[in-house]
Amino acid sequence: MNNNFALIMAGGVGSRFWPVSRTSFPKQFLDILGTGKSLIQTTFDRFKKIIPVENIYILTNENYRSLVKEHLPFLQDHQIICEPVMRNTAPCIAYGTAKIRKINPGASIVVAPSDHLILETDVFVETINKALAASKQNDCLITLGIKPSRPDTGYGYIQFSDELLGEDHELHKVKTFTEKPSIEIAETFLASGDFLWNSGIFVWSVNAITTAFDKFLPDMNEIFRDGEPYYNTDKEKEYIQTGFQKCVNISIDYGIMEKANNVYVMPADFGWSDLGTWASVYELSEKDYVGNAVINKEKVMMYNSSNCLVNVPSDKMVILEGLHDYIVVESNDTLLICPRSNEQHVKQIVADVKQNFGNEYI
C-alpha cells in the first residue's frame, strides 16, 4: 500500500483574475498562460509524478464538482471532496484529512493549491519526496518556503531559525509568519536572509495534523471525527451538509500553522508563482521587444505601446495606440483597462461591480 496522498485545493473563486475568472468558472479551470491545459490539469499532472492517481483528492466547492469532473474525468467520485459552503482552508483540509484517515491512518499528505505555477517540475518532485519522507519520521508540520527573488508585497513571508529538525539540514524551525507586508518591510525581510515566501504548500502525517486540529481547533476536529462512520457511504453528504455549517471560517495558517510549535519550513526554489494577479501573469508571459505580452495574438495590433498585458478573445479585433504599462482584458461581455501598477485594485472593482449590477457580471 502506498501511504502518500495529496489534497489539491480547488475551491476558490479567483476574483483577482476578473473578468476572465468568474464565480461560475474560476481561474483554476482556466488556461491562464495559454499552455493548452487548465491550471488544475497542470497541477494534477505534476502530482501524478509523486502520488498514485487513486490517492490524489480534489478539495472543492459543491458548485464546481461538474467542472472538476470535466477537467479530470478519470477521477472516482470519492476523490472529489466537496464543501457545501465556503469556510476557508482549515475546514476543507480537516474534512479531506478525516476521509484519508479512514482509508489509511498511517498516511502522509501533501496539501497544495490547484492554481499555482511551478516551472521546474523535477525539482518540485524531489522537494516533495524529501518532505514526505521527513513527515513519516517526525511529528512535525512542514511547509514549503520559496527563496525570495525580490521584495514582493503580494506574498506572505515565513521567518526561519537556525534550529534544524534532527539531522535534517533542510528543515528549519519556523519563527514567525507575516501576512503581505509593505514594500519597506519586504525589503528588510529580503536583506535579512532568513525570510521565505509562503507557498501555501504543506506536508504532514495524518497523525501530526489531526493532533494539531485536536489541540487548536478541537470543535472542528470533533465534527469531522464524528463523521467517520458516514464517509464513503450514502449518508456522508447529509452529515457534511450539517457539520460544515458549524465550522468556523478560518484558514489553516491562522488556525494551526501560526500557533503550533512543531512547524518546520523547507526552503525551496522550483520556479514557483502563485499566479495571484494579472501582474504575475505578465511577468511570466512571453513578451515582444517593447515588453508587450499578448495572450491571444491573432487580431491584436499595437502602435507606440509598451509593457502591456493584453488578454482578449481570439475572435476580437483590438487596436491599441499609445498605451504603456496597462492591463487590457476582455471576457464575458466585460472589458477591463487598468494600469499595471493598480492591478491590486481589481478585487475592489469586482466588489463595486457586484454592488452596482448584481451577480450578472461576477
Q: Tens digit of pLDDT for each residue in 156-168?
A: 899 999 888 877 6
Burial (CB < 10 A; 0-12, 13-18, 19+), residue 203, is buried
- Find the helix packing angle between 218-226 and 236-245, rounded to 10°: 170
The DSSP letter of residue 184 is H
Which pLDDT belongs to residue 188? 86
- The SS3 assignment for 158 reads strand
Which pLDDT belongs to residue 125? 96
pTM of the model: 0.92
Which pLDDT belongs to residue 116? 92
CB atoms within 10 A of CB 189: 21
* 159/161 Cα distance (integer angstroms): 7
Distances (CA, A) of 244 to 66, 71, 331: 20, 26, 34
Q: Tens digit of pLDDT for each residue in 72-124?
A: 999 999 999 999 998 999 999 999 999 999 999 999 999 999 999 999 999 99
* 132/3 Cα distance (integer angstroms): 10
**How open is the CA angle 348-350-353, to the nearest 5 degrees?**
110
Phi-psi region of 130 (alpha: psi -120 to 50; beta: other; left: phi over 0): alpha
Which pLDDT belongs to residue 1? 64
Residues of the chain with pLDDT under 70: 1, 168
Phi, psi of 80 (to 5 degrees): -105, 105
Which pLDDT belongs to residue 24? 87
The DSSP letter of residue 100 is H
Q: Tens digit of pLDDT for each residue in 126-147?
A: 999 999 999 999 999 999 999 9
Phi-psi region of 335 (alpha: psi -120 to 50; beta: other; left: phi over 0): beta
